[in-house]
Structure 1
Amino acid sequence: MRKYLPTVLTLWIAFVFVQSLFFKFSNSPETQHIFGTLDAWGASLGFPGLFAPSGIFSQYVIGSAELVASSLLLLGLLPRLRILRPLGALVSVAVISGAILFHLFTPLGVVIDGDGGLLFGMACSVWIAGLVLLLQSRDLLLARLHAVTA
């Protein structure tokens, strides 16, 4: 189990992120609803355009970060590039932490367009998977850190 768990978790995170890229990069109605809700919320706080298509937290920026995380994780499956897996996990946890926080603490909410919380649940599963990958990689990270500081 321990041998295959990193691969399964890596593939799960990459699946969730990559399948969402179509929605983000095609400006689908679902994406317009999510980022439109967030942009209206940001504007009400005095930060208009933060989540707009040209904003610093637009679906294109978030989608690009998810693509980078997925690429790092998938490349980390190769034995010679294993060091990339914890980096991909770290990017995944960072990106999905923002998503979870926005679901919980903005008008966006947990249930999006009647999905029963599926999108939020997937975000939580990615967060847990990324955290497990980071924990499983701690020896590799500590060895690299020790090699750099020695």
Structure 2
Amino acid sequence: APSIVFIDEIDAVGSRRTYDGTTGSSEVNRTMVQLLAELDGFDKRGDVKIIAATNRIDLLDPALLRPGRFDRIIEVPLPNDEGRNEILTIHTRKMKLDNVDFDELVNMTDGLSGADLKAIVTEAGMFVIRRKGKAVTMDDFKEAYTKMITKETREEVTGMFV
């Protein structure tokens, strides 16, 4: 039957092979070799398509990028001003907003991904809940942005919505 297999964060299993003699690198190498064997296979895949995603293409083993394994490499760049405005509009459309300046939000979030923007919107909403407010304000977004860009928060996302 027609199928699509999606491998998210392929760099976790398809990273550049190393030979440092450790058990960990040996396991990574075996996983990589098995992945390549499954991609190549002995039989044609027919109606089975494989799509993979990574935000670290620089870590992928060159063997994964050879012709015939993945036919296309599509880069999805970070959103521009218009894109960030649309993303913020989508994620805030069900929120009650009070005096929120979208132009300022767009300018202060330059270089952030759509996922980062969603996290900021969610966190701004959490600030309102914590203070028992009725609407999300620009200050809530500024606090959420500050929390988002702090190094500790970026490395430890587990506390993002707590």
Task: Tell me the TM-score range normalised by the shorter chain.
Answer: under 0.3
Q: RCO (CA 8 Å, sep 6+): is it higher in 1 or 2?
A: 1
Higher strand share: 2
Structure with the bigger percentage of helix = 1
**TM-score computed with the length of structure 1 as normaliser:** 0.25
- Mark the structure with the bigger radius of gyration: 2
